[in-house]
Structure 1
Amino acid sequence: MIELLAAMTTLSLGVGQEVVAGENDAGAERAGSGPDAVVYDGSAGQLEVPGPMVADADITIDGEIDEDAWANAPVLTGFTQFDPVEGVPATQRTEARVLLTDDAIYFAVTAWDDVKDGVRATLGDRDSFGRSDDYVRFIIDTFNDHRRGYVIMVNPLGVQQDGLWVVGGGGDRRRRWGPPIDWNPDFVWDSSGRIFDGGYTVEVKVPFKSIRFPKVPLQDWGLQIERRIARNGYGESWAPVTANVANQMEQFGTLTGLQELNPGLFLEVNPVQTFSKQGAYDHGAGAFQREGIDGDFGMNVTYGITSNLTLDGTYNPDFSQVEADAGQIRVNERFALFLREKRPFFLEGTEIFQLPQQLVYTRSIVNPVVGAKLQGKIGSFNAGYLGALDDVADPGNPDENTHAVVNLFRLRRDLGSTSNAGMVYTDRTYGPDRFNRVLGVDGRFQLNQRYTVTLLAAGSRAAHGSAESLNGGLLSAQVARSGRNFQFEVGGHDISNDFEAGSGFLRRTGIAQMQSRVSYNFRGRPGDFIERWGPSLEAEGLWTHDDFWARQRPQESSVQVGGSVSFRGNITVWGNYSRSYYRFERDSYYSLASRSAGGVRRAFFPDQSLFQGLSSGTIFFWVNSFDRVRGNVRLTRSESPLFDFISDAPVDIADSWSGDASLNLFPTTNLSAEVGVRHTSLLRQRDGSLYSRATIPRLRAQYQFNRALYLRTIVEYGSQRRGALLTPTGGDQVEYCSNGSCFDLKGSESNDFSFETLLSYEPTPGTVFFMGYTRRMEDMQAFRFRDVRPEAEGLFVKLSYRFRG
């Protein structure tokens, strides 16, 4: 193993991605400008840069910025701050340079820092640094349409992170923060970084083969360059930006007059071979059984039909997860849990399928045998197609040996400078009389730069064998206002009872929901102790589909007031208080009964006043002030209904205490660790007895030998206990009845203990070597570790190589 690590370390330092942390500022000194270099001051509105084409740049990506080509390259400077204060001069000096050759675009940045040892950088694997490190971000709008751009990020040690800036999509829309970036795609590009005494330098090369652009003789590209200073959270950009414009891409600068760009022949072949050996505890035999070695081969092929249209094909796409999904608390969960897609074939080039409601959810393709994907932009039209043969049984006929044929199609047309309209069609077919089809139209319209209107209408048809086919509909609408200080959004959706999205993910159907939110931000002056603060108000109502159109009272509603404060030093505190109301009709409980200690069974319908005016309060602390230790804590106290997950009706009421804490440790440049814990307890209000308790501690530690090679270990313990559902007055057992028989809604308990370790070598996306081991055990008593029994284990190896022509 030691020899293997040494060999991989040597190999990774020979692929043009060397990482050096220097002790002098020679790199900055050699970054001077030649007599022909033109300076473009972003703060002065000098945002149009004539395309700096160079026949032969002869640039080595080593972070030095010492080649002659850089001396006469355009210099992009005059950065201004956009976070936390807009429009003021940048706190640190930044200079960027850009060049284009016949096969790539190059960037070089010198980022000065007047604070000794103020630069934060961690040697980690790809897409790992996020908000923890300093970084420079390049956003390249190759179609100059203000709708989609390539995001290229690099930290001071040259570690890469990339994605797609998708206006109206991406980001963490549910929590309403972060830029609209889809972090799933991985592109092939080169980078390097060096830290010197007064800052750092980075160099980047993005081959034209890795990006899509129009096939025209003359074109312009949008360009933005941002810098993030991690110790204080400041964001600074070359092209000034303001939140008063909803679409940030409208404020980018431009590379003009780019001529005869041609990526050449683009063909990628990516064979994948995996080996695994599984084991599981056989409860019947009372022994642990191990299977033989299982091998699996897959292949991905990508062909660039033109510079803006790409065809992908796959056979047996890989689904070996190199890291398990973090544990989720399930003790009082009403609906299905959403799991993120992790398969590379379904991650890249599928951002076009993002919609206000998730009508496309690629994890619904469970076991694909073959698949094809076509995506690109022609003129003002964006098109995407995804098809697959899914080796999975029909849920309505699980005993039949069937396959699902999946076809997903999306078309979207640009309207005006930033708006668009489109359609989506999904088809999942098991046979001529067993299928699910959805057809929808949508639009996103930007008005007066501040306002955005989003609309979606869809219809579904589903057939399940001999039964009559079901037809359903979905409507969704939202209006949002962006602003530096004042923002609001109001919207809602209605989903009919018979609407089915067989290729999508909808937690609930047969409901209508309306929500609104208004907030105001007060911003301090540069250097103030309080940099930004503001209140918010939210209201939400939920009806059954039929009640909504009959103008009945909502089944669920809530009002929430909140506020947040950002302090100097990258410290954020926010909190909220809400009141919730639940009103369920008697027919929601038709399948529930109560049984007394004497065995007397009665129809069950709790007093709905129990579920009125339930209070909840949350406070959250986030601290990113220190170089080696960062973390966050969330605490919530609430009055929570206890739901029967079958009928989705509230049965009892409980006092809930929950929270989570996470501590991120960076003891050295190469070593990082995350220690976290999640906990929730629900106590019945009737007598204070425990209904459920869940505690999930998790440790994730990683040692990075270099940018390509790391060793990671994850240890997690999940203790989850749920009691029986009892009536809120007498404490009688609640039963679920169906077809003349009833059974108790009993509790459950699990104490899972898991361990996994992974050795990963990935010099470029698609070229990987993974070797991992995972073991899951069951502790007979929570956190005792006295009688720990093995439940399952797995050893896997993955080998793949990305051939590029």
Structure 2
Amino acid sequence: MPSIFYSAILTIFSVSSVLLSTAGHAQTDEIPTLVPDPRIVVNGKLDEPVWQHARRITIHFMTQPTDQGISDIGTEARVFDDGQTLYIGFIAPDPQPDKIRAFYRNRDNIWNDDVVGVKIDPYNNKQLAYQFFANPLGSQADSIENAQTGHESASWDGFWQAAGQLTDDGYVVEMAIPFAVMNFPPQAGLKTWALEFVRFMPRDQRVRLSSARISHANKCWVCQMPAYRGFAQATSSTNVIIAPSLVAGRSEQRNVRQHQDWQGENNVELSLDAKWAISPDITLNATLNPDFSQVEADVQQLSVNNPFTLFYAESRPFFTENADYFATPHNLVHTRNISAPNAGAKVTGRTGQHTYGFFAADDDSTTLVLPGNLGSDIAVMDTASKNLAARYSFAYNNMISVGVIGTWREAGDYYNGLSGVDANIRLTAKDTVSLQWLYSQSRNAGQMGLRGEASERYNTDQPFNGQAYRINYQHSERNWRWFGRYDARSKAFRADLGFMPETDWNKFTTGGEYIWHLAADNVINRVRVSGDWDTTHNAAGEFIEDEAEGYAGIFGPRGSYLELGTYQRERVGRRLDNTSLAISGNTERFDEQGLSLFAEVSPAAGMMFFAFWQHGTALDLTNNRLSDQNRIELEGRYSFNRHLELSLRYNQTSMDYQSDRVFTANLTDMRLIYQFSNRSALRLVLLYTDLQRELENYQNMSQQQLNARSRQLNKQLLYSYNLNPQTVFFVGYSDGSLQDDELSRITPSERSAFLKFSYAWQL
């Protein structure tokens, strides 16, 4: 068996090398280095003489909704550098300038507007691409695209400038991107980078125009970016950025059930973030006594009748900086698990074909997800913890990359360590295989407060270990794709620093989609059908779930999309005997089925609406019986003018058993934002949840444990000013209220006022 395995690996490497060598090398264009006189003022006007000598690049290749055709709108990018900064001027004419969508937006919130930008791969190795975009008023968005995982890290924020101006026949955007914001090889003289210049036009269809021919048959768009020579004087800064912060506020709480008075404390803390570019491609980030409070309110989610832990994205700057360096097919580094660190350090870098990252942080407490196969739980320990992660990957060539990862968490008697290897192999431009194998070692602590499945699975103080592996294959053509994936996790596998809420769990999934592209002037311009089938068992081979889903959708005018879906699912219910992890003979099987309808439309600039409805049979997990379930999700955004926007989201889930209501869960999320400029904004957030249970329709035990009504109302008023990602000022107020069966009305239980100021110095 080993000889067959090694022969297969050698064959893959050989075939990929041949494919790479026969692909040829496209002739590269040059980006000039110019000395602007007078100095460039980034104002969206392109009125300095140096712009007349810049490299001119046409953006006219259609890449969405189809990869066929050339636009008759002559968008142009003018590009040069001065040895320290890359300057790009976009001239974007429009035959109907009154339809241009442009509003002042918070960073990374511009994707419903007209947008222009650039993607840059400074290593030209088809692994990662920096993305810099702006709308016609200069509102910014940036991210890092990982070509191996397909993930875009939008939480990354770079230090760069953009400004825009609307004109009589379109708009102009000017960008200044310091080379210091990117990592790239410390190569003297001319360099070869891959760049793609892009324009998005949201009209009846969302059109994407590019400076490059992009084939939909190759899902790696970073791999298709053309190469440009130049940047001879470019050096990535080795300066140090110091960003001290002051956080001050007062928080108060009270026990509303015991009618207590408000009790609170004042809090004033200093913190320090530092960034040192040790070399052009190695960066050190460090933080002391950091402010890791969540200034941004999390997007609320309904958790009723959901047995698994909900996912919340990371938004704290120390962790989001170069987070893509730790990305693998599985989410093994989910830093929201680290809630209150006192100090942290991170080193990330890319040298030639090598990419590596390491971070360490402590935590005043320890929060971890305890995975299972029918549900997961969260454990919180008061014990301080140490958290480590290390990642290394090697790009053998543009077709093959391999990597290793290790994580470690430790708190008193508790620990969890994980190590693994992974590979991403592009067999051809249309065929990709990704592989991952993981091994974990764990030991639990006595004070974890385990319950349910987690108690039976992890109620031991003896060390245990587990394994996991994942195989994914995908084939893509211009109009269709197919994939197959197998994911296996042994009974005791854990990834406590990541987000993997399922274990003792093996799942095979296969599916695909087909898209018909119709004439652009048709009322319906595209038709899409898709579907997948999956089957899940535990590590012992016991059945958990079979599921089949199918969808048919049409794309129409005003950016509209209408999709009809259906699902058929056979699954097991909760365990009848909670003292056993067995599934066969310890659960009942239920058949779920239903229909769904999704609709989305953007009828005019500053307006977007979508609606989702699903009705069918579903398992009532609390009562372990099949019931009728109805789900509604509504969302809308409306811009009253270029500054003021209202967004409203409403979700409702209800369940009936034999025509009697079991529960109704409602969630309302309203946000009113006044964007004074691209840098400052005032925001009001209202988050309201209401869960009503008809307890007479519950089993007896549940009637004694649950509240008939649970309501929460959270409010936040926040003013923010951002000069750059690390020079910020926040001042705000927030409070929270609740109601349950012991309270006759919704009652305030917590409130706080706060301010934060940080300023970044470059030394």
Question: Given the two structures, how large is their TM-score scaled by the length of structure 1?
Answer: 0.84
AA paired with 1:506? Answer: M
In structure 1, the residue matched to 2:197 is 225
Correspondence list, 1:388-407, <5 A = 388-393=361-366, 402-407=383-388
- Pairing partner for 1:759 from 719, 728, 733: 719
What is aligned with 1:70? 51
Partner of 2:348: 375
**How many Å separate the matches in 2 of 1:734 and 1:533?**
50
Alignment counterpart, residue 158 of structure 1, candidates 138, 141, 145: 138
Which residue pairs with 2:274 in the alignment? 301
Contact 2:333 2:499 in 1 (8 A): yes
Query: Secondary structure at 2:71's aligned position in 1?
Result: coil
Determine if the alignment matches structure 1 residue 111 to structure 2 residue 92.
yes
Counterpart CA distance in 2 for 1:102 and 1:400 is 52
**Residue by residue, what CA displacement relative to the aligned partner does 1:461-498 show, whole Å, maximum 9, x if unpaired?**
11236932101011111101222211011102111111
Which of 641, 651, 668 pairs up with 1:668? Answer: 641
Matches within 5 A, 1:217-366: 217=188, 218-232=190-204, 233-283=206-256, 286-366=259-339
Change (3 A) 1:196 1:257: closer
Residue 798 (structure 1) aligns with: 756
Contact 2:59 2:197 in 1 (8 A): no
Is the contact made by 1:77 and 1:94 (CA closer than 8 Å) also made in structure 2?
A: yes
CA distance 1:213–1:107, change in 2 (3 Å)? same
Residue of structure 2 aligned with 1:570, choices 556, 559, 563: 559
**Amino acid in structure 2 at the alignment position of 1:772:** G
* Residue matched to 2:183: 212
Contact 1:725 1:747 in 2 (8 A): no
Q: Deviations over 1:286-312 (max 9, x none)?
A: 134141321122111000011111011
Unaligned runs of 5+ in 2: 1-24, 371-378, 446-459
1:424–1:441 Cα contact (<8 Å) kept = yes
SS in 2 for 1:514: strand
**Distance change (3 Å), C-alpha of 1:372 and 1:725:** farther
Residue 473 of structure 1: aligned partner: 467
Q: Please state how far the C-alpha of 1:50 moved relative to its aligned partner.
A: 1.1
Counterpart Cα distance in 2 of 1:606 and 1:437: 32
1:690 corresponding residue in structure 2: 661
Match of 1:640 among 605, 618, 624: 618
Conservation of the 8 A alpha-carbon contact between 1:47 and 1:239: no
Q: 2:576 aligns with which of 583, 586, 589?
A: 589
| 1:399–1:655 CA distance, 2 compared to 1 (3 A) | closer
Aligned partner of 2:77 in structure 1 is: 96
- Once the two structures are TM-superposed, the CA of residue 221 in structure 1 deviates from its matched residue by 0.7
Pairwise CA distance, 1:745: 5.5
CA gap of 1:249–1:198, structure 2 versus 1, over 3 A, is same
- What's 2:105 paired with? 124
2-structure distance, mates of 1:316, 1:63: 40
- Which amino acid is 1:754 matched to? N
CA contact (8 A) 1:527 1:568 kept: no
Report the secondary structure of 2:318's partner residue: helix
**Which one-letter code corresponds to 1:203 in the other structure?**
E
The alignment partner of 1:340 has SS state of coil
Tell me, in whole angstroms, the C-alpha distance in 2 between the residues paired with 1:288 and 1:616: 50
Query: In the TM superposition, what is the alpha-carbon distance from 1:54 to its structure 2 partner?
Result: 1.1
Counterpart of 1:591, as a letter, is N
Query: Shift in Å at residue 181 of structure 1?
Result: 2.1
CA distance in 2 between counterparts of 1:702 and 1:558 reads 41
Which residue of structure 1 lines up, in the alignment, with residue 700 of structure 2?
733
Identity of aligned residues (%): 23
Q: CA deviation at 1:266?
A: 1.8
> Secondary structure of 1:86's partner?
coil
- CA pair 756-781 structure 1, distance change in 2 beyond 3 A: farther
Separation in 2, partners of 1:798, 1:326: 22
Aligned with residue 437 of structure 2, among 443, 457, 475: 457
Deviation at 1:248, TM superposition (A): 0.8
Q: For 1:542-578, what per-residue CA distance to the aligned partner results, in whole angstroms no more than 9, with x for missing partners? A: 111111xxxx5x3211111111211133111112101
1:695 Cα deviation (Å)?
Answer: 1.0
Cα distance in 1 for partners of 2:160, 2:735 equals 36
- CA 1:748 to 1:48, structure 2 compared with 1: closer, same or farther past 3 Å? farther
The 1-side partners of 2:367 and 2:641 are apart by 51
CA contact (8 A) 2:59 2:199 kept: no
The whole-number CA distance in structure 2 between the counterparts of 1:443 and 1:350 is 19
Bigger drift between 222-231 and 48-57 goes to 48-57
Residue 604 of structure 2 is matched in structure 1 by 626
Once residues 85 and 276 of structure 2 are traced to their aligned partners in structure 1, the CA distance between those partners, rounded to angstroms, is 19
**Alignment-derived partner of residue 442 in structure 1:** 422
**Is it true that 1:719 corresponds to 2:713 in the alignment?**
no
Q: What SS does structure 2 have at the residue aligned with 1:287?
A: coil
Q: 2:737 touches 2:747 (CA, 8 Å); kept in 1?
A: yes
| Matches of 1:659 and 1:336, distance apart in 2 | 21
Corresponding residue of 1:501: 495
Q: What residue in structure 2 maps to residue 144 of structure 1? A: 124
After TM superposition, give the deviation of residue 723 of structure 1 in Å. 5.0
Distance in 1, Cα, partners of 2:699 & 2:638:
49
For residues 571 and 732 of structure 1, do their structure 2 counterparts lie closer, same or farther at Cα, with a shift above 3 Å needed?
closer
The Cα of 1:537 is off from its aligned counterpart by 2.1
The answer to whether the aligner puts 1:535 opposite 2:529 as a matched pair is: yes
Is the CA contact (8 Å cut-off) linking 1:216 and 1:260 kept in structure 2? Answer: no
The residue aligned with 1:776 is: 736
Deviations 1:79-123 (A, max 9, x none): 111111222111522011100111110000100000140111011
Given that residues 624 and 631 in structure 1 are in contact (C-alpha distance below 8 angstroms), is that contact kept between their aligned partners in structure 2? yes
**SS across alignment from 1:79:** strand
The amino acid that maps onto 1:375 is: T
Question: What secondary structure, in the 3-state scheme, does the structure 1 residue paired with 2:540 have?
Answer: helix
1:48 aligns to 2:52 (yes or no)? no
**Helix, strand or coil for the counterpart of 1:706?**
coil
The CA deviation string for residues 318-343 of structure 1, in whole angstroms up to 9 with x for no partner, is 22222321221122111111111121
Aligned-partner SS, 1:259:
coil
Does residue 616 of the first structure (1) align with residue 610 of the second (2)? Answer: no
Say yes or no: does 1:195 pair with 2:166: yes
Structure 1's unaligned 5+ residue stretches are 1-44, 171-179, 594-603, 645-649, 736-742
Relative distance call for 1:401 and 1:711 in structure 2 (3 A) is: closer
CA displacement, residues 430-485 of structure 1 (integer Å, 9 cap, x when unaligned): 24x53211010001111110111111100111123693210101111110122221
1:250 is paired with a residue whose SS is: helix
Letter aligned with residue 444 of structure 1: N
Deviation at 1:781? 9.0
Count of aligned pairs between the two proteins: 711
CA distance in 2, matches of 1:292, 1:220: 57
